[in-house]
Amino acid sequence: MEKNTSKKPFSFSKLIVYICLILLAITIIVPVAWVFLASVKQNKEFYGNPWTLPEKLYFQNFVDAWTKADMGSYILNSVIVTALAIAMLIAVALPAAYVLSRFKFRTCKFWNLLFMAGLFINVSYIVVPIFLMLNNWDKALYQAFGTKFFLNNLFILAVVYMATALPFTIYLLSGYFSGLAKDFEEAAYVDGAGYFTTMVKIIFPMAKPSIVTIILFNFLSFWNEYVISMTLLTDAKLKTLPVGLMNLMAAQKSAVQYGQMYAGLVIVMLPVLILYMCVQKTLTQGMTLGGLKG
């Protein structure tokens, strides 16, 4: 019996695609690898050939970046803000996206249109109005109670992050929920489950790949955000990691300590790389399953 060989012959177009992918991978891997190598070099090694390997692994750069530049407190602030923002975003966006995509009511189109309009608002354009609004609230609060709350507050920064990420998150989740078959909900209703129970125990577990996707996207956005954090947090003790990294880079450039500067870059990149490696498979599912119809 002859074997059924259904494999398509290797074509020239596939070769072009593979070459483009390899070149793209090189453009991403080489700079990242160079930063990692530069982070363990001594300062004198930067005055020679930048592509030479380090003479020895000089991990003191990480110790200096962590202690002298206070990177530890910056990381803690970023972790607190990012965790709070993602938790609030999930708590608000999941029910909102589920209701807007699965139920029809009088103002449904209005709310969908409102969130869609939010996709076209660049956050950088509204930073100053947000700052002025919070500053005015702080002035009124100080005149009434002698205290301030809205500026230099990690929780308020997390609320601003959550609010600015709502339109994209609801849009992405609504598209995924719309593609799910309604048979699951109808079966749950027949078994006596209410709307809330059906949403939490039936729909949300099915949307796990999509939820992981929006968590990762928003984590990258919140973790690397610079403009809003720099504007709303003026207290040096409350600076987040991107702002602290910029301060470190400015300080180390003037002090000509390039090793510490690149060590700080690695400290910023590591959490993102580790998170992506942990959720890579689920992230791929979330980006592909959204187009499937039940």
229-251 pLDDT, tens per residue? Answer: 999 998 888 989 888 877 766 66
CA distance 88 to 158: 8
CA distance 262 to 269: 11
Of 168 and 124, more confident: 168
pLDDT at 78: 93
Above pLDDT 70, what percent of the chain?
89
**Backbone φ and ψ of 234, nearest 5°:** -100, -15
Cα 142–143–145 angle (5° rounding)? 60
pLDDT at 68: 74
Of 21 and 278, more confident: 21
Confidence band, pLDDT 50/70/90 cuts, at residue 255: low
pLDDT at 143: 92
For residue 196, pLDDT over 70 is answered with yes
Of 126 and 180, more confident: 126
Whether this model's pTM surpasses 0.85:
no
Of 61-65, 117-121, 153-157, the range with the highest mean pLDDT is 153-157
CA quadruple 244, 246, 248, 251: dihedral, nearest 10: -130
pLDDT at 292: 42
pLDDT at 13: 83
For residue 61, pLDDT over 80 is answered with yes
Tokens of 23: 């070149």
Tokens of 61: 């750069």
pLDDT at 285: 61
Confidence band, pLDDT 50/70/90 cuts, at residue 93: very high
Eight-class DSSP state of 170: H
